[in-house]
Amino acid sequence: MKFTIYQESRIGKRQNNEDRLAHCYSRDALLMVIADGMGGHYYGEIAAQIAVQCMTEAFQREADPKISDPFSFINRTMVNAHCAIFDFANTHKLLDSPRTTCVACVIQDNIAYWAHAGDSRLYVIRGGKVLTRTRDHSRVQLLIEQGMISPEQAHTHPERNKIYSCLGGMQDPKIELSRKTPLEAGDVIALCTDGLWGGYADDMLASALKNGNLMKAVPELMEQIDLHGGQSVDNFSIVAARWEDNYIDPVQEDTSIIHTQAMPLGEFTTRIDQFGRNPKYKVNLTDEEIERAIDEIRFAIQKYST
């Protein structure tokens, strides 16, 4: 495989960052995942952490070096994350279960497979245009489909934050699977939380990411949101990959391109932001509290590690 990948999360104008994101790859498969802990529920950031950690750990167990059934893998690990979050709530006797959105994508053999629950999105961008994207599991999306509001009105609708599918909570999540999507060289696959896409129409987001150099385009997009997002901007996060297989630069290949062909079998490269830590922002957790939270998360997902 050949690809470039960039991920970043910022706190916006909130007091705490409840977004979590990760990517992990073997020689022949790539996993990307984003979760947005839902505000108003206890421990939203822990729910999001359980989701991304559950999926990356499962990927490291099962990518040998490919995932045998990507759709089954994504669906099963999301359900396992949902159960682990619910177990965490029961163990701590919480009045309300932590909840999180989740969107995850596996790429192998030049084909993308993804699934989501909630309103965190996945975009496939080709030639500066949105080829496809996920459909939000939200109240305003239903209103749009019923012709009651326009997509523009959805950005400011009072029920824009109400979603009907998530991981955690009392009800089983509605996990929506994609179709198998063949990728072409230069395609961009972007996963992001609503804090990022909420301020951009689809075509604007596609235009912002059409630059071939993701390592420049994504930070510039994040900086624009930070500077001009206003006083109510939510946490905003993205993990984006530019698919480079079968692409040969006639002048000079970008040094940021990752080549996996030489990776040994059983080896993985993983980036998952540490729980409670953000390099740019202070959080109100001590090191001891962070370590205790990590141990509790691992305990919650341990029973689903088979």
The pLDDT tens digits for 119-128 are 999 999 999 9
Task: Provide the pLDDT for residue 32.
Answer: 98
Q: How confident is the model at residue 13 (pLDDT cuts 50, 70, 90)?
A: confident
The mean-pLDDT minimum among 97-101, 167-171, 273-277 falls in 273-277
Q: Does residue 158 lie in a domain region? A: no
Q: Reply yes or no on whether the pLDDT at 49 is more than 50.
A: yes
Name which residue leads in pLDDT, 275 or 264.
Answer: 264
Q: Reply yes or no on whether the pLDDT at 84 is more than 90.
A: yes
Q: Does residue 155 lie in a domain region? A: no
Q: Does residue 160 lie in a domain region? A: no
Count of domains for the chain: 1
Q: Does residue 152 lie in a domain region? A: no
The mean-pLDDT minimum among 92-101, 190-199, 284-293 falls in 284-293
The span from the CA of 144 to the CA of 140, in Å, is 6
Check which CATH number belongs to the domain holding 109 and give it.
3.60.40.10
What stretches of the chain show up as alpha helix (H) in DSSP? 44-62, 70-91, 139-145, 151-154, 194-197, 202-208, 214-228, 287-302
pTM of the model: 0.91
Q: Does residue 94 lie in a domain region? A: yes
Task: Provide the pLDDT for residue 34.
Answer: 98
Name which residue leads in pLDDT, 48 or 286.
Answer: 48
Mean pLDDT of 132-151: 80
Q: How confident is the model at residue 278 (pLDDT cuts 50, 70, 90)?
A: low
Coil, helix or strand at residue 111: strand
Cα 192 versus chain centre, distance = 6
Q: Does residue 154 lie in a domain region? A: no
pLDDT, the chain, mean: 88
Mean pLDDT of 213-240: 90
Q: Does residue 288 lie in a domain region? A: yes
SS (H, E, C) 120-184: CEEEEEECCEEEEECCCCEHHHHHHHCCCCCHHHHCCCCCCCCECCCEECCCCCCCEECCCEECC
**Residue 81 per-residue DSSP state:** H
The span from the CA of 186 to the CA of 114, in Å, is 19
Mean pLDDT of 99-106: 97
Q: Which of 294, 198, 297, 269 is nearest to 3 (CA)?
A: 269
Domain housing 196: 2-129+165-302
Mean pLDDT of 21-39: 96
Asked if 48 contacts 272 with a C-beta cutoff of 8 angstroms, the reply is no
Mean pLDDT of 217-221: 95
Q: Reply yes or no on whether the pLDDT at 253 is more than 60.
A: no
Mean pLDDT of 286-292: 76
Q: Does residue 150 lie in a domain region? A: no
Q: How confident is the model at residue 292 (pLDDT cuts 50, 70, 90)?
A: confident
pLDDT in tens, 163-201: 889 999 888 999 999 999 999 999 999 999 999 998 888
Task: Provide the pLDDT for residue 251.
Answer: 44
Rg (CA), the chain: 18
Q: How confident is the model at residue 247 (pLDDT cuts 50, 70, 90)?
A: low
Task: Provide the pLDDT for residue 218.
Answer: 95
